[in-house]
Amino acid sequence: MISVAAVLIYVLFIRKAQEKSHIAKNIYLKSLDMTYTPPSQRVSLFSYDPVSSSNDLRRNVAEQKRHMEYLAGLEFYLEYQPQVTPHNQKFVGAEALLRARNLNGEVVMPYVFLPWLEAAGMIRSLDLWVAAEVIKQDAIWQAAGVNVEIKMNVSSETLLDKQSTHLLIDKIAEAGGRVSVEILEQDFSTALDDVVSAIKKIQAFGGKVYIDDFGTGYSSLSYLNSLKVDCIKIDRSFVLALQTLEGEKVMAGIFNFAEALGLSLVIEGVETEAQLNKLPKNIPFAVQGWLYSKAIPADEIPEFAKKFTGV
């Protein structure tokens, strides 16, 4: 379970400070909540409402406490969805996917708990926890004779923080090139130079960089020349569109584009043989989808690997 103790300590510290010193509290509030008054309306440069500010802080603390209490009741764990290259039926990789259970043992979906983690400011801690777990799992699989690349999702918040990036790279280096990162396309929209710098550092220590859900963000093509990534993952919406002639043409265009730039391809969301058969064959690619496997517990991966040893 991921500890939320550090954030809880922060909340308790703020509450204790409130109780201990009303004067100190109001000085702190004033630094946060003073608002600029136009010259035509002011007597002094700033105006301040201590009652309103105090209420705002109490609401913020209460909301933060609610986030922490909710997260403290969740157990986080990882499952892994295999990736297979259809042309030779070989198991080549797996994506680490974050999961959670509540106190009743019920699975909580990521779209439910991720906003809580973001609101609590825990995304960077989460990324580093996932990295540590992935490195442990890589060692276990290596001992079991399973040698595949593990991909983990990393947020732009982590990539843009130098200390977090340094800690992440330390973990990636331990795996000797068997652990790579996936970053969302929309994460490139700000601080592109910093993201590029982080990507280069990850690659220098053996990790590959994947663009996740390619084609769903903005200005997809304009970023690729700067980013120098290794692989693009095609969003499942393009797979669903294969039932139309236009969809087939778009997919063929993406394949030609990837081939021209020397990018590897992973196709997400392939669920049927019919979808697989409609994919272009001009370059090798990997498939991640229910056609081969849903996300499964880590201890089931060695058995899965026996079915797809390649030819």
Nearest CA among 276, 218, 222 for reference residue 251: 276
| pLDDT computed for residue 15 by the predictor | 42
Asked whether residue 24 falls in the same domain as residue 60, the answer is yes
Q: What is the pTM of this model?
A: 0.79
Asked whether residue 40 falls in the same domain as residue 112, the answer is no
Asked whether residue 244 falls in the same domain as residue 221, the answer is yes
Asked whether residue 41 falls in the same domain as residue 61, the answer is yes
In whole angstroms, how large is the CA radius of gyration of the chain?
Answer: 24
| pLDDT computed for residue 94 by the predictor | 98
Extract the tokens encoding 290.
């229910």
In angstroms, rounded to a whole number, what is the distance separating the alpha carbons of residues 37 and 39?
6
CATH number at residue 132: 3.20.20.450
| pLDDT computed for residue 85 by the predictor | 97
Domain total of the chain: 2
Within 10 angstroms of residue 311's Cβ, the number of other Cβ atoms is 7
Asked whether residue 158 falls in the same domain as residue 245, the answer is yes
Residues whose CB falls within 8 Å of the CB of residue 106, separated by 6 or more in sequence, listed in order:
none
Average confidence (pLDDT) per 10 residues, the chain, 311 residues: 42 41 39 40 45 62 67 90 96 97 91 86 94 97 96 94 94 93 80 86 93 73 78 94 95 92 95 96 94 98 92 58
Asked whether residue 230 falls in the same domain as residue 246, the answer is yes
| pLDDT computed for residue 120 by the predictor | 82
| pLDDT computed for residue 201 by the predictor | 92
Sign of the CA dihedral running 303, 110, 207, 215 = positive
| pLDDT computed for residue 66 by the predictor | 65
| pLDDT computed for residue 289 by the predictor | 97
Domain limit, last residue, from 52, 72, 92: 72
Asked whether residue 109 falls in the same domain as residue 15, the answer is no
Residues recorded for the chain:
311
Q: Could you tell me how far CA 118 lies from the centroid of its own chain?
A: 11
Quote the domain boundaries for residue 17.
5-72
| pLDDT computed for residue 72 by the predictor | 79
Asked whether residue 187 falls in the same domain as residue 294, the answer is yes
Asked whether residue 24 falls in the same domain as residue 140, the answer is no
| pLDDT computed for residue 220 by the predictor | 57
Asked whether residue 293 falls in the same domain as residue 159, the answer is yes
Asked whether residue 192 falls in the same domain as residue 243, the answer is yes
| pLDDT computed for residue 63 by the predictor | 65
Asked whether residue 61 falls in the same domain as residue 80, the answer is no
**Cβ atoms 2, 126 nearer than 8 A:** yes
Domain limit, last residue, from 47, 72, 97: 72
β-pair type (231-234, 264-268): parallel
Domain limit, last residue, from 35, 56, 72: 72
